[in-house]
Structure 1
Amino acid sequence: MHIDQVPNFSLRQLSYLVTAARLGTISAAAAELHVSSSAISDSITTLEHQVGAQLCIRKKAQGLILTAAGKQIAARATNLINEANDLERDLKTTDGELAGPITIGCYPTLAPMILPVLLAEFGEQHPRVSLEIVETTQDKLAGKLESGEIDVAFVYETLIPGAPNHAQLFAQPAHVILAADDPFVSRETVRLEDLVDRDMILLDSPPSSQHTLGMFHDRGLQPTIRHATTSYEVVRTLVGRGLGYGVLVQRLKNTASYEGYPLVVKEIEPAVEPVGVEMIWSSSARVAPRVQAIINFAETTRWATHSNTEYA
């Protein structure tokens, strides 16, 4: 391919802009990149002159907000920088072995099931690939895939931000957890109508809270929430203490709470729709070979899911 003209700007200038935009201030970008604030500020000013457009609005105390042109250039620059980093790694890797970082986003309650498999089994297959983990709720994933901050994420299907590529790994229906001495333990299944006046311990973390409350609202019910917590284990612990029941999707082999109180799982009657666990990745950014490798690994892995018989 014939190269007509070499760009006036450099990857370093683009990286300064992208980093400052990601962190929100020039001073934070300077600290991360180990350069002076004036070097970054001057670089961005020069870049603006070279492309003929204002790329950012600088606020007091060195704050920075991208303009529409700046957002467009930053998005494309991120892809260019990632490709340049991949090229550098490929040039250093002569044996064809995959190398470099992969940043994985994971919904916290999925982490105990997903992350050990990736870190142990995928890590063993590709020892020169470093896996960086970001545990976060799905509402905080918005934009992180398209910006390149996260390469691939594992989430519930109910609230996937944006329109990324996705593949379903498995699906599970929600279930009710009860203390071992709960009066409903003798029942084979539990109806939401029978729970509505009892105390609920709500997992208040999107999308779990919306999904749980939605199941009740779809049947014209309003649950009685005694406590709400963002912690999966706190829900199980409070239920184990007999302070209420819980509604969860993720199923663990451990039949006891964090404190050792036994828990019993009951299926919901009538049956509720299973919730899919999805792997998502950017639909616009180039997928690096190492990221494609982890996508292929996840799609072909037989993920362990546990039936209610293991909790009885």
Structure 2
Amino acid sequence: MPPDQGDRTSGEGSAELRAPDFSLRQLSYFVAVARHQSLHKAADALHVSAPAVSAAIAHLETTLNVQLFQRRHARGLVLTETGSAFAVECRNLLLQSWDIGSGRLTDSREIQGHVHLGCLFSFAPYVIPPLMRQMADRFPKARLFWHEGHHEYLLEGLQTGAFDLALMYDFEVPSGIECIPLRAAPLQAVLPAGHPLLRRSRLTMRELATEPLILLDLPRTRNYMLSAFSADGVAPRIAHRVYSMTMLLGLVANGHGFSLLNFCPPNTHSRELESTLRTPNLVLAHSHRYRFTRIAAAVGEIVTVLAEELAFRAD
């Protein structure tokens, strides 16, 4: 029987869409190395051997005829410009694959896959634990990986694709990062119990300039806090520089000074500030470069509710 006219193709070879000479598993190995900048760290995270990861990278570079990494003794494996662009495409392809496997095509309500959430360390203890509980109850087949850190760390994670989402403030956010505003987070003065200034409902930066300041000395946070004083034409009296919320709150509680925070944890004493500084917003951020998956959207919905319910002022 002659072939049907509609089955004929022109040109030589098959017109069928064929699979490339590399696998999704090899792409996942590459993305892991790109994230960790180390074969051994990527292998540990993937629970496979380092030679298997090395072989996958070598196969990709040979098949694609490109150099994906530069091997540097001091810094490990650093993405080339081509490798960086390829890492974005690979991550989006892997995320899309997870979306297909999670039942999207059959309208299944059973969401699978994994999501990496970054959260500002100051309020992470009040968001991450209830989020983990709700995730386990509502999406038992999904996996949540959480990361806490300071503002600079979260921005870097969003830009490199280490984090799918980040709960943070919206100051000095570069282009390419979309921020969904959740609520205003005005700057507040945190004071020791019994401090005379607690008798006031609102305070000025000039009133605080003579008090000993406990400065949270972290990238971007430091400059933001100090700009609150310079915006009102006064200079702070820095008594201590700290690098953790635990030390900051401990020093304040023991009467060694006051501090400035946008979020005041429970059992602290704070007052609103009269300042010309722009009030930042608490936002849920993600990068435009990377695919937004079903599981990321589901986590975002839960985080949004938890953030809205969070008490930003303790008293």
- Per the normalisation by structure 2, the TM-score is 0.82
Q: Deviations over 1:96-124 (max 9, x none)?
A: 31123222110011213432442344543
- What is residue 5 of structure 2 aligned with on the other side? none
- What is residue 158 of structure 1 aligned with on the other side? 171
- What is residue 88 of structure 2 aligned with on the other side? 75
- What is residue 189 of structure 1 aligned with on the other side? 202
> For structure 2, which runs of at least 5 residues remain unmatched after alignment?
1-14
- Paired with 2:307 and 2:120, the residues of 1 have a C-alpha distance of 19
1:128 is matched by which residue type in structure 2? K
Q: 2:122 aligns with which of 86, 109, 116?
A: 109
- Paired with 1:110 and 1:307, the residues of 2 have a C-alpha distance of 9
- Paired with 1:286 and 1:148, the residues of 2 have a C-alpha distance of 10
- Paired with 1:277 and 1:61, the residues of 2 have a C-alpha distance of 37
* Contact 1:138–1:161 (Cα < 8 Å) also in 2: no
2:297 is matched by which residue type in structure 1? Q
Secondary structure at the residue paired with 2:17?
Answer: coil
1:6 is matched by which residue type in structure 2? A
* Contact 1:164–1:280 (Cα < 8 Å) also in 2: yes
Q: 2:265 aligns with which of 252, 259, 280?
A: 252
> For structure 1, which runs of at least 5 residues remain unmatched after alignment?
256-263
- Paired with 2:131 and 2:46, the residues of 1 have a C-alpha distance of 30
2:243 is the counterpart of 1:230: yes
Task: Give 1:94 deviation, angstroms.
Answer: 9.0
* Contact 1:141–1:161 (Cα < 8 Å) also in 2: no
- What is residue 70 of structure 2 aligned with on the other side? 57
User: Which region of structure 1 is more displaced relative to structure 2, 222-231 or 190-199?
Assistant: 190-199
5 Å-filtered alignment, 1:268-307, equals 268-270=273-275, 273-299=278-304, 303-306=308-311
2:279 is matched by which residue type in structure 1? P
Task: Give 1:60 deviation, angstroms.
Answer: 4.5
* Contact 1:176–1:246 (Cα < 8 Å) also in 2: yes
After superposition, the Cα gap between the structure-2 partners of 1:132 and 1:153, relative to the gap in structure 1 and judged at 3 Å, is: same
Q: 1:139 aligns with which of 147, 152, 175?
A: 152
2:171 is the counterpart of 1:171: no
Q: 1:212 aligns with which of 225, 232, 242?
A: 225
After superposition, the Cα gap between the structure-2 partners of 1:59 and 1:38, relative to the gap in structure 1 and judged at 3 Å, is: farther
- Per the normalisation by structure 1, the TM-score is 0.83
Secondary structure at the residue paired with 2:70?
Answer: strand
Task: Give 1:249 deviation, angstroms.
Answer: 1.3
Task: Give 1:168 deviation, angstroms.
Answer: 0.8
RMSD: 3.0
- Paired with 1:37 and 1:131, the residues of 2 have a C-alpha distance of 25
After superposition, the Cα gap between the structure-2 partners of 1:41 and 1:103, relative to the gap in structure 1 and judged at 3 Å, is: closer
After superposition, the Cα gap between the structure-2 partners of 1:39 and 1:193, relative to the gap in structure 1 and judged at 3 Å, is: same
